[in-house]
Structure 1
Amino acid sequence: MPLTQISRLDASHIAADKVAGEARSPLTEPALLADALALAGAYAFEMGEDGYLDFADVPSVERFIVERPGELSTAQSDWENRLSAEDIRARRRAISSLRFIGARYQIDYALRDAMGEIRYVREIAEAQACADNRATLIRGVMIDRTDDRRADEAIAWRARHDPLTRLPNRSALQADATQMAALGARVGVPVHLIRLRLSNLDALTLNFGEDMRDHLLRAAATRIHGAKRAPDLVARLGGADFAVCSPNSDPETLAQFLRATVAAQPYATPFGPLALEVTCSAVPLTTVDEALMATREDFSNNDDVPERAAATAVDVQALLDNDRLSLAFQPIVHAGSGDLHHHECLLRVRTDDGRIESAFRVILAAEKDGMVDQLDTRALDLAIPHLEADDSVHLALNVSAGTIADDEASARYIDRLRDLGDAAARLTIEMTETLAVDDPAKASRFAAEVRGLGCRFAVDDFGSGHTSFRNLLAVEADSIKIDGSLVLGVAVDENKQAFIRMMVDLAATFSVDTVAEMVEDKADAQILARLGVNYLQGYYFGRPAPSPVWSRMTG
Structure 2
Amino acid sequence: MARQTRSPLLEPALLSGALALAGAYAFEMGEDGYLDFSDRTALERYLIESPGALQTTQADWEGRMLRQDMRDRQNAVGSLTYDGARYQLDYPLRDTMGVTRHVREVAEAVACADGRATLVRGVIIDRTDDVRSDEATVWRARHDALTRLPNRAALMEGGTQLAGLGGRIGIPVHLLRLRLSNLETLTATFGEGLREQLLQQAADRMQAALRTPDLVARLDGPDFAAVTLNSDPDTLSLRLRAAVTAELYQTPFGLLALELESTRAPLDTVERALAITNRALSGDDAPLAPTKTRLPSVYEALDEALLELAFQPIVHAVSQDLHHHECLLRLRDGAGRLSSAFPFIVAAEGAGEVHRIDLFVLEQAVPFLEADSRLHLALNVSAGTIGNDAHSVAYIDQLRKLGPLTKQITLEMTETLAVDDPAKASRFSAEVRGLGCRFAVDDFASGHTSFRNLLAVEADCIKIDGSLVRGVALDANKQAFIRMMVDLASTFAVETVAEMVEDRADAQILARLGVDYLQGYYFGRPGPAPHQPNTPASPSRAA
Tell me the TM-score normalized by structure 2. 0.50
- Following superposition, the deviation at residue 315 of structure 1 comes to 1.9
Contact 1:311 1:365 in 2 (8 A): no
Name the structure 2 match of 1:386: 368
Which piece of structure 1 moves more, 520-529 or 322-331?
322-331
Match for residue 450 of structure 2 among 468, 483, 486 = 468
1:554 to 533, 536, 540: 536
Q: Match for residue 228 of structure 1? A: 131
Shift of 1:356: 1.2
**Compared with structure 1, are the counterparts of its residues 377 and 492 closer, same or farther at alpha carbon in structure 2 (3 Å cutoff)?**
same
Q: Which residue of 1 aligns with 2:321?
A: 339
Q: State the secondary structure of the residue aligned to 2:482.
A: helix
Equivalent positions of 1:16-95 (< 5 A) are none
- Which residue in 2 is equivalent to 1:80? none
State the alpha-carbon separation in 2 of the partners of residues 510 and 431 from structure 1: 18
Query: 1:410 is matched with which residue?
Result: 392
1:359 Cα deviation (Å)? 1.0
CA change 1:351–1:479 in 2 (3 A) is same
What letter matches 2:365 in structure 1? A
Q: How does 1:207-222 map to 2 (within 5 A)?
A: none
Is the 8 Å Cα contact of residues 428 and 456 (structure 1) preserved in structure 2?
yes
Provide Cα deviations, 1:424-449, integer angstroms capped at 9, x if missing partner.
Answer: 00100000011111110110000000
Alignment partners' CA distance in 1, 2:344 and 2:462: 26
- With normalisation by structure 1, the TM-score equals 0.49
CA 323–167 in structure 1, closer or farther in 2 if over 3 Å, else same: farther
Tell me if 1:496 matches 2:478: yes
Residues 315 and 533 of structure 2 are in contact (CA less than 8 Å); yes or no, is this contact kept in structure 1?
no
SS at match of 2:432: helix
CA deviation profile, 1:42-75 (whole Å, cap 9, x unmatched): xxxxxxxxxxxxxxxxxxxxxxxxxxxxxxxxxx
Measure how far apart 1:227 and its partner are.
3.8
Structure 2 CA distance for aligned equivalents of residues 307 and 329 of structure 1:
35
Match of 2:216 among 269, 286, 293: 293
1:326 is displaced (CA, Å) by 1.0
Query: Does the C-alpha gap of structure 1 residues 371 and 437 become closer, same or farther in structure 2, counting only changes over 3 Å?
Result: same
Paired residue for 1:330, among 306, 312, 323?
Answer: 312
- Does the CA contact (< 8 Å) of 1:314 and 1:365 recur in 2? no
Gaps of 5+ in 1: 1-83, 85-111, 120-165, 169-223, 245-250, 260-280
**Residue identity opposite 1:293 in structure 2:** V
| CA separation of 1:534 and 1:288: change in aligned 2, threshold 3 A | farther
SS at match of 1:228: helix
In the TM superposition, residue 311 of structure 1 has moved relative to its aligned partner by 8.4
- Equivalent residue, structure 2, for 1:419: 401
The CA distance in 2 between the partners of 1:323 and 1:419, in whole Å, is 24
- In structure 2, the residue corresponding to 1:349 is in which secondary structure? strand
Q: Are residues 1:539 and 2:532 paired?
A: no
Using the TM superposition, give the Cα deviation of residue 229 of structure 1 relative to its aligned residue in structure 2, in angstroms: 2.8
* Amino acid across the alignment from 1:341: H
Q: 1:482 and 1:241 mapped to 2: Cα distance?
A: 31
1:524 is matched with which residue? 506
Say if 1:327 and 1:546, in contact at 8 Å, map to a contact too. yes
Q: CA RMSD in A?
A: 4.2
Percent of aligned positions with the same letter in both sequences?
A: 57
Distance in structure 2 (CA, Å) of the matches to 1:542 and 1:225? 36
- Between the aligned partners of 2:385 and 2:224, the Cα distance in structure 1 is 37
Q: Work out the CA distance in 1 between the residues paired with 2:289 and 2:324.
A: 33
How far apart are the structure 2 equivalents of 1:364 and 1:231? 33
- Stretches of structure 2 that go unaligned for 5 or more consecutive residues are 1-58, 60-73, 82-88, 92-126, 154-198, 226-270, 276-286, 538-543
Q: Which amino acid aligns with 2:316?
A: H
Q: 2:434: which partner in 1? A: 452
Work out whether residues 295 and 344 of structure 2, in 8 Å CA contact, stay in contact via their aligned partners in 1: no
Aligned-partner residue type, residue 458 of structure 1: A
Q: C-alpha distance in 2, partners of 1:231/1:449?
A: 52
The Cα offsets for residues 96-151 of structure 1, whole Å up to 9 and x where unpaired, read as xxxxxxxxxxxxxxxx99x96699xxxxxxxxxxxxxxxxxxxxxxxxxxxxxxxx
1:552, distance to aligned residue in structure 2 (A): 2.3
Residue deviations 1:307-358, cap 9 Å, x none?
Answer: 9985875222011112221100000000000000000000111222211111
